[in-house]
A = this chain, B = another copy of it.
Amino acid sequence: MKDIDFMARAIELAKRGQLKTQPNPMVGCVIVKNNKIVGEGWHQEYGKDHAEINAIKNCKKRFGLKKALKIIAASDFYVNLEPCTIEKNTPPCSTALIEHKIKRLFCGTLDPNPKINGKGIRLLKNAGIKTKVGLLSKECKQLNRVFFTNQKKLRPYIILKSAQSIDGYIALKNGDSNWISNSESRKDCHHIRSTVKGILVGRRTVEKDNPSLTVRLTNKELGIGKNEIIEQPIKIIIGNLKKSKENNKLFSNNAKVIVGSKLVAKKFKNLEYIQYKEKNFLEKFLKDLLAKNITSILVEGGQNTLNSFIANNLFDELVIYTAPIFLGNGSIKTLNLKAADSINKSRKLKTIKIERFKDDIKTTYYNGNI
């Protein structure tokens, strides 16, 4: 096996912590001696041991403490992210690696957290440990897109979603949009919902569609055990809910709802208002959401809301479901953006994935690099 194979294995292990490590990143660690894996671990859950510590524990379990210490001191560590230097819930990993006098460290990327960024590597180097940064860096960044975005952009990772006709409309003139996309596409959207911490819509969508904004999938569909319960995303609304009623689906089951607006209107039990003085408070609101550990959000419309995110370049991913229908003029357009000056200067996204749900097409785009 080669270096990149061991790093690929670390990434694979890291993924096992998906959705459970936030706001921490997913991290996997592989310990290798003489080209053989002698220990593996990953960060399993927020607040619990980090990947490096789990890999060391795994090695000790495999070989017994005494033999493991000898092995580790002659081993290379492969980790997708720079070892941490901060003592929070657990002692810093860089200290543990130094104490174990490991031979070499291969890491995928530096930690984007400005408090760590490069510090972990420096500590190891100063302790005489050889380090190499950048192995499968693209894949490592990709793995932790949410974490990198949180750290670098100081806001949640933002996915915009829309379901439209071939001619680019999200609803008829009268607002009717039930249903443009088919049931399989809508189910897929619930899968996206299950991967984010919050679902955001504009207040008009609440008034018009009375949405639940919940993940409605069976445990089997979610791929979790019979008795497991998923954490429902927090519901986030932009604009005050003056026309909403307490019996709106949004508030059922005492779900937590956060509203960002200039004016504070009705207040129900689990409704939290964050009030802003400025007209364009989107960026501030997003920062405040991250402070509440909402590390990722799915924005589901309507047109005004989607446009304000695109116009302000506040999005990381755009997901469009296109149904094979025409809605025609006068219908409500998916996007309503300012004209581009030229085709060359027009905003460009990166096409990431094309999927098909019966006759609907789902396209996933990335906006810029992380």
Select which of B173, B325, B339 is within 8 A of A330 by beta carbon.
Answer: B339
Report yes or no: B351 in contact with A356, Cβ–Cβ below 8 A. yes
Closest to A336 in B: B329
A329 to B356, CA, bound (A): 29
Instruction: Tell me whether A326 and B354 are in contact in the complex, defined as CB-CB below 8 angstroms, given that A165-B346, A335-B166, A361-B363 are known contacts.
Output: no
Say how far A329's CB is from chain B's closest CB, in angstroms.
5
Contact residue range for chain A? 35 or more
A109 to B215, CA, bound (A): 48
Report yes or no: A327 in contact with B351, Cβ–Cβ below 8 A. no
Select which of B327, B346, B365 is within 8 A of A339 by beta carbon.
Answer: B327
List, in ascending order, chain B residues with CB within 8 A of A324's CB.
348-351, 365
List, in ascending order, chain B residues with CB within 8 A of A349's CB.
166, 324-325, 359
A83 at the B interface (CB under 8 A): no
Q: A residues 152-181 with Cβ under 8 Å of B?
A: 165-168, 172-173, 176-180
List, in ascending order, chain B residues with CB within 8 A of A365's CB.
166, 324
Q: Mark A52-87, 1 if CB is under 8 A from B, else 0.
A: 000000000000000000000000000000000000
Report yes or no: B340 in contact with A331, Cβ–Cβ below 8 A. yes
A343 at the B interface (CB under 8 A): yes
Q: Mark A78-105, 1 if CB is under 8 A from B, else 0.
A: 0000000000000000000000000000
Report yes or no: A167 in contact with B337, Cβ–Cβ below 8 A. yes
Closest to A322 in B: B363
Closest to A323 in B: B348
A310 at the B interface (CB under 8 A): yes
Report yes or no: A343 in contact with B180, Cβ–Cβ below 8 A. yes
A336 to B153, CA, bound (A): 39
Instruction: Tell me whether A334 and B178 are in contact in the complex, defined as CB-CB below 8 angstroms, given that A328-B340, A359-B351 are known contacts.
Output: no
Closest to A327 in B: B340
A248 to B349, CA, bound (A): 36
Report yes or no: A351 in contact with B346, Cβ–Cβ below 8 A. no
Seen from chain A, the residues whose Cβ lies within 8 Å of a Cβ on chain B are: 165-168, 172-173, 176-180, 310, 318, 320, 322, 324-331, 333-340, 342-343, 346-351, 354, 356, 358-361, 363, 365
| Interface pairs (30), CB distance under 8 Å | A165-B346, A166-B335, A166-B349, A167-B333, A167-B334, A167-B335, A167-B337, A168-B333, A176-B343, A177-B343, A179-B343, A310-B326, A324-B351, A325-B346, A325-B347, A326-B335, A326-B340, A327-B343, A328-B337, A328-B340, A328-B346, A329-B336, A329-B339, A330-B339, A331-B340, A349-B359, A350-B359, A351-B356, A351-B360, A351-B361
